[in-house]
Structure 1
Amino acid sequence: MKRLFCYSLLLILLSSQGFSQTKFKGIVKDDREKLSLFGAIVSIKADGTTAVDQVSVDFDGTFVLTTTKTFGTVEVSMNGFISKTIPFYGKGNESTIDLGIIFLEENTVTERDIIVTTSSIDVIKDRKTPISSSTMRNYEMREKVSNKDFIELTSQMPGVYTSRVGGGFGDTRMNVRGFEQNNISPMIDGIPVYDLEAGIVDWANIASMNDVASSIQLQRGLGASKLVNSSVAGTFNMILRDANYDKGGFLYNATGNDGYRKFVGSYATGLLKSGFSANVLLSSTSGDGYVNSTNFEAYSYYLALGYKKGKHDFQFKVFGSPQWHNQRMSNISLSNYINRGNGSGEPNYKYNRDWGYLNNEAYATKVNFGHKPLGIFQWDINFTDKTQLSAKLYGSKGTSGNTNFSGGILGLGWSDFVDGNGQVDLNTIYSFNSGQPTNIPYYGVRTRSENYNGQFINSIWDGNLGGGFVSRTSGISLLSEVTNQTFYGGILNLSTQLTSNLKLNYGIDARKTVYNKTRIVNDLFGADAYATDYIDAPNDPAGIWYAINTNNTALPEPLFDFTKKNLGANPVDYKYDAKIAYLGSYAQIEYDIWKFNLLAQGGFNRQFIQRVDYTLANYAESNPGSGVFDIDNNSSNSTSELPIDGYNAKFGVNFNITAKHNIWANAGFVSRAPVFVTVYSGLNNDINPNYKNEKFKSIEIGYGFRSRSVSLNISAYSSDHKDAETPYYTPELGNFGTTSGINRINRGIELDVTAAPIRRLILNGTLSIGEWKYSSNAIFQDLRPDTNGSLAEPSILLIEDQKIGGAPQLMASIGVDYEFFKNFRFGTNVKYSDRMYASPSLERYDPNFSVYKENATFFKNPILLPDFTVVDAFASYRFRINVVNHIDLRLNVNNIFNRKYISESNSSYEVDSPDPTTFDSNTLTGPTFRENGNVYKGLAGGNNAFFGLGRTWNFTVRYEF
């Protein structure tokens, strides 16, 4: 029904188009060798600037373009050539105009810039802005995305590595130049969408961005953004289509492996004579997932309305992507993958422990959900052709969250309850929680007793409710960590060309963000109620006191479907607001003289951080000293606003040696305020006394070459990142520890090249070589006090000169795109990755760290993971219905040779380390992994790993009109 509605709506819009048409035909060649210029773009521009109709030149140089416009200009353009415009006055009534042979003059400066009309979006200008960047336009995204996450498209850019991690929809992780994605600043239309509370990047809730973006640009290193944002590794700018996007629409249908299905419908009016314009898109995506039990469902919507008249350009945009998806989040060892295989010794790459059966029905226990729509209002005033004021207001209000187990049974966590297939044994958990005799691993048959008022009460703590004896009988529950997010702000930017050589941008950036964090109950698995709260009370011998909220016996609807979730359920365990107010100002100067382009930027910002706790207030006000409080009380305990300053400065210069050669360099530094969870350590209002701003310094040099058939960029960078801090968090304890003083040096070389040596053939390649390591030891501080209320002495983590893991330090790729005959293309891309190290938690480098007994599992070096090569391929055919409409058919096959490879690991056992499955903790002896034969491809079988996806495929049909 939804698809029928979309088809009907788009056909009605299509039927409103006029029937009076003018047809242009001609041939496009270069003026020197008189060769046909395949791929040149022929556009109709009614107002001289906006393309309303467009077509590309065929291999024989010919083109046919039909328009309903009766006057305007025909523009012929191609990278590497000077554009040519031809005015026309159509005769109407299906007239045909033959433009003959159009010769274009070669211009070795390749136009690779993204065209934006507002000064509030920062993009790289080729051979002018001294920043490393890679750009992908909408047509490239729609061709290459297949059934990947859109963020995976960046893996073909130099210096970028992406991993699907557990394999869930939207869970892809991005690494740039060896920096984790929390050091990347994602922006939508120039608006920062970085999570200021936890420092995470949430791709899942913008997973349909490739449908609505006109282009995406990754600016590596310092980036060109004027805002004082969070970027130290790069800026990832996703630019939405304007309302006056080219007139036309499309219908898109895709199918793929593991039940993948996608439908998209879109239509744009183009810029109407009245000055109004509109652009609308609807999509739905679903599938079963490549990994077991990683089903997903997502929708997206986009509406852009515009009005452009004279000096004023108004744009209003709304984008949203509600979704839910099952995940694979738990650590799985290599030996466990093998044990769940078919007995051949090969791992079961699709194995997922995070689900099971309850009453013979499949039940996913790790689910991510969310819907965080974004609204943007933009007003650009062009006072003159040299001065523009851009005002942008934006806001978002939405919810996201994920499910997690909580509690335990007789000292065992949920991961100890697995059935013979390695899935969560939910029936056993249910049996014990509800007081039935149950066979418990290591304990035999046990029966749970009522632990409060004749009821079976679950909690986050393993202990007797209200008593001091810890009996490890809290029961196991499924809870959701929920974030209700609200943010709004504005950007005001004035851009003015002071002289013919000097351009100035300056402005202010203000925003307010509130994250409301809590937990709610999903499933008690047979228990009667949940203990809502806990707190360390001075008068409680056990340090724990519980209050029972009997209302929680009426559970909310499952959160697995965003259309059904009930977020009004009573919160449990904690409820607080993280408030961050931000005010920044900046200035940018561009100075062009002779062949030099100079760029300087500087900015300062102040953040005001505040925490509001809705549990501590009632504890302090209503029940002083008792430890009993009601989480649903409306009173709160708020900290004062804590001001933290940040600033940055950048400088760069580009020199165009000739029309083909240019060199450039940039340098700068950033002082970044710590994220909220670093300042407030734990689920309370206590402030981390040791928090610091992170410092980042970078220097980079580069060389570019442009000719008619070759485009080449090479750059070398050196980045110093100091005073980073990583909190260690659980929903029960908050930040129970923190590692500070993390200093690192990332250096490397990057190369990308595109070449068209012969007609119909396009080659591209990238090379990235890095040397990333920690430059000093770090410090781990356990924030859990002992029985005397004192903290343990900090531990020194021996990480100096250790390699930084998480991404290959050597990557190389080569791609081929060849048109065998008219409208039929075939291509492939090969990417090789090597020198990738594991990335274990840094506290494992504490020489006093122990799991079995002292020093038994101290990691001395990060292990080196096996290298791997992945080959993707595609075939496409364009079927032309007429000069305007066409159908594109495309088949994408990713990892065509089904290569099985480890995409990342968070542990670092060596093959000669003791195997924990046979280690004797009393004698401190036992065979090693090697001696036990517990080795896979040279790696100890005890290492956790996530595997890359095997062969996947996707077939799409796209109708454009």
Structure 2
Amino acid sequence: METNIISLSRRVVMVIIALLICRTHGFTKTVLNGPVSDSLNLYTDSVQRDSSGKTVILNQIIMSASYLKGTKSPMRIKSIDKQQIESKAFGKTYPELLKEIPGIYATSETGSYGDAKINIRGFKQENISVLLNGIPVSGLVSGNMYWNNWLGLTDATHSLQVQKGIGASMLSDNSVGGSINIITTSTSETKSISGGLFFTPFGSDGGSLAKGFVSMNSGELSGGWALSALVSYTGGSGYVESTDVNSWAYMFNVSKRINGNNDIVLTLLGSPEKHQQRSVRLSESEVEKYGVRYSKNWGYLDGEKMNLSQNFYHKPYLTLNHFYTPDSGIEMTNTLYISVGNGGGRWSESKGKRIISYQEEGHIDWGSVISDNQARTGTGAAGSAQNILSDYLAGHTQAGVRHNTAYNINDKTKLEAGFHYLYYSTWEKEKITDLLGGKYWYEDYASNSLAGTAGRNPIKQVGDYIRTRNGKVTNNATVYLSGNYSGKKWNLRGGVSYMWNKYSRWDTYNYVQDPSSLAAGSESDAAFASGFSIKGGALYKLSDRSSLYLNAAAYSRIPYSNVFFASGSNEITSDVKNERNMLAEGGYRYIFARGSVELTGYYAYWKNKTIVSNPYTQQDNNDVAYMIRGLDALHYGTELTMTFNPARWLSLEGNLSVGNWRWKNDVKANIYDQYSGLKIDEINVYSNGLPVGDAPQTQVGIIAGLKFRNGILVNADWTYNGRLYADFDPAERKNPDDRASAFRLPDYNLVNLGASWKRELRRFGYNYTLFLSVNNLLDSKYIERGKDGSDHTISTFSGYWGFGINGSIGVRVDL
């Protein structure tokens, strides 16, 4: 432990050295003089203009990203500003920064650093639109969002905004629960340099995490150029056993003011990372015996820790934005972007007793795994290793172009039109990395591949590819038209969009004799689909302080590509139908001098949902794949937020969210062989009336903040989560007489505490801020998420328990 901490400290102390070097060379802060506009009124630090009156690049990004002001919007909006992000971001993913918002449930899922999961109003990730500076970044294969791809980039984030329900972007047709809009920092007219060091000790029986970052902004240089950069490193071991992390993050911005009408900005960001994972759910008896930090998917091999699961990935993201204002009434935005992701995760293959079943004192007995492999004799399949380790490798190329033209008819009315084209190509394959003492692995092409053996050698060694080698190509095009009217009494928004998709798939495992080439016959036919969205909202001001709002939307939404190739082969799923979503939301908002009240009711009817299993999910390592079609669900509920500032030094906020989310019908499911994709069964799924699981349907929260004159800020929050049902596999609901709800997890309360102290040292020309946070202050024991069992009780339930008390300390220096 001590050696690990010293190693981490050596890496992150480079941040402090960098700050001192910059200070020595006279890198001081300079602010250009000029008028300040409050027309956007989003944040006071994002509306500065230079001496010629031009808005900064960040304003243009915000305006083009469908970012709204909550007090004037006919939608339920919540924004997290940069100061809040800085005080809470260390050790947390983007979703975990939003967990205090009513109707949102965000957790670290498995407890592994960077693995996060979020639900909004009961809807999972595939029904939540995630946008980065206004561009959709959710996966197009299944809608999943891999938050570990963005580890460390919270330091480069200007703000986060959650738009509940329909969302404002015309590109987000999967905004059923809501949209999450991430706005990154950009260049500005202000020179600055910042750095920070943060540390999280998890106690004598836990690990420790350390993080350091340094960022700089050149301010406006000669010729209209400006530069900014950020680099950060996070390393150490997490709260859960054997969850080490090694993660870098970077962001570089270059902007150029060409003339009074044209600006461009080039942004490159990414977060190469490697982290160990706890991929196996726990039972109550295991947690009682070993504690909440316990992970059973690791053990010692030759004196070194060996984990069954780890993830490694790098997804650099390059964007080029062009902002063009030909006259005072027209604003044009053009965006080109490309991302080439590459990485994977450790996987295992088994021909009998699985590796996770080799347990000794609660951890994997790697020695017995190897001994059993070495004892295998014979030829062919008989002599094959029983268990091996492999890397499931996956990558993608994502490239697109977006154009938006906004025409200000007058100071109250604006029309916008645009298009977005996206090319998304993915590939996946599995490569043997360790035979674990075996002589070889026997890949049974004759039984598993549609092409049979086809001359391929089934005897596989380390470095050979097995089981899967395929990919998908998506072409997506969207056109849209929207309008906005903002008058003295009314604020109206509306828009319509049309989407067109083309999907195809290739597969060299099942369809060609030469698996190393993409030869004729390995490509599927193309599948085509189209859809639309219509959305609109109205806000009516009853007075200067109070307003009523209403919004609604109808989607005919194209299913993800995994639905069109649900069997896992090149066969296109027959009779694929669009999902149909009908959303409505209404609310009352009252704002007074010292606070506000907002009450919202929402309704979401989700029809013709298709669920497709993922065979490469460690938590659900099943021998079959399935597709469930035609599911309907109804989500409705109420949300209340009240804020009150009784004094300048005290702020209070109360939140309440009560939902009723249920599945509405019984359907059928197709069962497929996980290798060949052949349909092997069809079953009935009895889900009508069951509560939707995986998120609490009742939430209560209180937040208090204290501000002292000496720069000390203290905040505390209390959250209650109730009526949280376990997630369940609909394919397991095969008994028509079993209509019992999934296991209801125990209700729980959490108390968190945070503090910061900002000191400005004018004599030396810099300021620093000290941070302290304590999570789960009362050390409550609770279950965050899990999977329902056969009898819907705790005895067959498996899941993940939440962290005990833990905390972080840190310092940030700004020059």
TM-score (norm 1): 0.77
Structure 1 residues 85 and 417: alpha-carbon distance in aligned structure 2, compared to 1, 3 A threshold? closer
How big is each residue's C-alpha offset from its partner over 1:734-786, in whole Å with a ceiling of 9 and x where there is no partner? Answer: 97221111110000111223221112111122111101111112222223499
The within-5 A match list for 1:594-609 is 594-609=488-503
Instruction: Give the aligned partner of residue 608 of structure 2.
Output: 723
Specify whether residues 117 and 786 from structure 1 end up closer, same or farther in structure 2 by C-alpha distance, changes over 3 A only. Answer: closer
Give 1:860 deviation, angstroms. 2.6
How high is the sequence identity, in percent, across the aligned residues? 23
Q: Is the 8 A contact 1:228 1:605 kept in 2?
A: no
Flag the 1:478–1:245 CA change in 2: closer, same or farther, 3 A.
farther
- Deviation digits for residues 73-129 of structure 1 (CA, Å, limit 9, x no counterpart): xx9999999x999999xxxxxxxxxxxxxxxxxxxxxxxxx9545643111123432
2:516 aligned residue: 632
Q: Name whichever of 739-748 and 521-530 sits farther off.
A: 521-530
Q: 2:749 aligns with which of 846, 855, 869?
A: 869
Pair 335,298 (structure 1): closer, same or farther in 2 beyond 3 Å = same
Deviation at 1:791, TM superposition (A): 4.4
Q: Aligned pair in 2 of structure 1 residues 251, 500: CA closer, same or farther (>3 Å)?
A: closer
d(CA) in 2 for partners of 1:737, 1:601: 36
- With over 3 angstroms needed to count, the CA separation of the structure-2 counterparts of 1:797 and 1:532, relative to structure 1, is closer
**Which of 734, 759, 774 pairs up with 1:879?**
759
Q: Which residue of the other structure, out of 264, 267, 276, is the alignment partner of 2:216?
A: 267
Superposed CA offset, 1:354-376 (max 9, x none): 11122232101110110001001
For residues 820 and 909 of structure 1, do their structure 2 counterparts lie closer, same or farther at Cα, with a shift above 3 Å needed?
farther
- Paired letter, 1:590: N
- Give unmatched runs, 5+ long, in structure 2: 1-9, 52-57, 202-206
Write the distance in 2 (CA, Å) between the matches of 1:600 and 1:76.
21
* Residue 108 (structure 2) pairs with residue 223 (structure 1): no
Q: Which amino acid aligns with 1:665?
A: L
Q: Which residue is 1:781 aligned to?
A: 670
The 3 A distance-change label for structure 1 pair 699 and 161 is same
Instruction: Indicate how the Cα distance of structure 1 residues 635 and 909 shifts in structure 2: closer, same or farther if over 3 A, else same.
Output: closer
The 3 A distance-change label for structure 1 pair 725 and 634 is closer
Q: 1:512 & 1:651 partners in 2: Cα distance?
A: 28
1:432 alignment partner in structure 2: 372
Structure 1 residue 423 corresponds to structure 2 residue 367 = no
Q: After superposition, where does 1:229-248 map in structure 2 within 5 Å?
A: 229-244=173-188, 246-248=190-192
* Pair 1:315-2:262 in alignment: no
Aligned partner (choices 615, 622, 629) of residue 509 of structure 2: 615
Match of 2:799 in 1: 945
Query: CA–CA distance in 1 between the matches of 2:43 and 2:216?
Result: 31
Matches within 5 A, 1:398-797: 398-409=341-352, 412-419=353-360, 421-435=361-375, 448-452=376-380, 464=382, 475-532=386-443, 534-536=445-447, 547-548=456-457, 553=461, 555=462, 569-619=463-513, 630-636=514-520, 637-731=522-616, 736-784=625-673, 791-792=680-681, 794-797=682-685
Provide runs of 4+ in structure 1 moved above 6 Å. Answer: 18-21, 75-81, 83-88, 537-540, 543-546, 732-735
Matched AA of 1:426: W
* SS of aligned partner of 1:142: helix
Task: Give 1:10 deviation, angstroms.
Answer: 4.8
Q: Specify the alignment match of 1:561 in structure 2.
A: none
Query: Any conservation in 2 of the 1:228–1:603 contact (CA below 8 Å)?
Result: no
Deviations 1:418-477 (A, max 9, x none): 11x111121111112122xxxxxxxxxxxx21333xxxxxxxxxx558xxxxxxx65101
- Cα separation, 2, equivalents of 1:76 and 1:819: 28
Partner residue, 1:334 = 284
Q: Secondary structure at the match of 1:486?
A: strand
* Contact preservation (8 Å) 1:683, 1:734: no
Partner amino acid, structure 2, of 1:263: G
Whether 2:804 is the aligned partner of 1:817: answer no
Aligned to 2:324: 381
Which of 293, 309, 317 matches 1:350? Answer: 293
- 1:14 is displaced (CA, Å) by 4.7
Gapped runs of 5+ residues in structure 1? 22-43, 51-74, 89-113, 342-347, 436-447, 453-462, 466-472, 556-568, 620-629, 849-854, 912-938
1:205 aligns with 2:145: no
Under a length normalisation based on structure 2, what TM-score does the superposition of the two structures give? 0.91
Residue 539 of structure 1 deviates from its aligned partner by 11
Q: Which residue does 1:362 correspond to in 2?
A: 305
SS in 2 for 1:730: coil
- Compared CA separation, residues 199 and 292, structure 1 to 2 (3 A): same
Greater displacement, 744-753 / 228-237:
228-237
One-letter identity of the residue aligned with 1:530: W
Distance, in Å, in 1 between the alignment partners of 2:158 and 2:675 is 56
Give the Cα–Cα distance (whole angstroms) in 1 for the partners of residues 581 and 448 of structure 2.
42
Name the amino acid aligned to 2:175: S
Spell out, residue by residue over 1:42-63, the C-alpha distance to the aligned partner (whole angstroms, 9 max, x if none): xx6524359xxxxxxxxxxxxx
Match of 1:295 among 244, 264, 267: 244
Give the one of 78, 83, 88 matched to 1:144.
Answer: 88
Mapped partners of 1:249, 1:335: distance in 2: 51
Tell me by how many angstroms 1:132 deviates. 1.1
The answer on whether the counterparts of 1:893 and 1:952 sit within 8 Å (CA) in structure 2 is: yes
SS at match of 1:658: coil
Cα gap change, 1:615 to 1:76, in 2 (>3 Å) = closer
Any conservation in 2 of the 1:321–1:373 contact (CA below 8 Å)?
yes
1 CA distance for matches of 2:422 and 2:305?
A: 43
- Residue equivalent to 2:686: 798
For the residue of structure 2 that corresponds to 1:650, the secondary structure is: strand
**Partner Cα separation in structure 1 for residue 48 and residue 413 of structure 2:** 29
Q: Secondary structure at the match of 2:798?
A: coil
1-structure distance, mates of 2:200, 2:479: 47
1:584-603: CA deviation from partner (whole Å, max 9, x where unpaired): 10011112344111111110
Q: Counterpart of 2:110 in structure 1: which amino acid?
A: G
Q: In structure 2, the residue corresponding to 1:616 is in which secondary structure?
A: coil
**Could you tell me which residue of structure 2 aligns to residue 919 of structure 1?**
none
User: Are 1:365 and 1:403, in contact at CA under 8 Å, matched by a contact in 2?
Assistant: yes
Q: Does the 8 A contact of 1:606 with 1:644 survive in 2? A: yes
The answer to whether the Cα contact below 8 Å between 2:670 and 2:679 also exists between their aligned partners in 1 is no
SS in 1 for 2:568: coil
Instruction: Answer with 282-291 or 128-137: which moved more.
Output: 128-137
Matched to 2:282, the amino acid is: I
The count of aligned residue pairs is 787
- Cα separation, 2, equivalents of 1:816 and 1:173: 26
1:836 is aligned, of 724, 740, 754, to: 724
Q: Whose Rg is larger?
A: 1
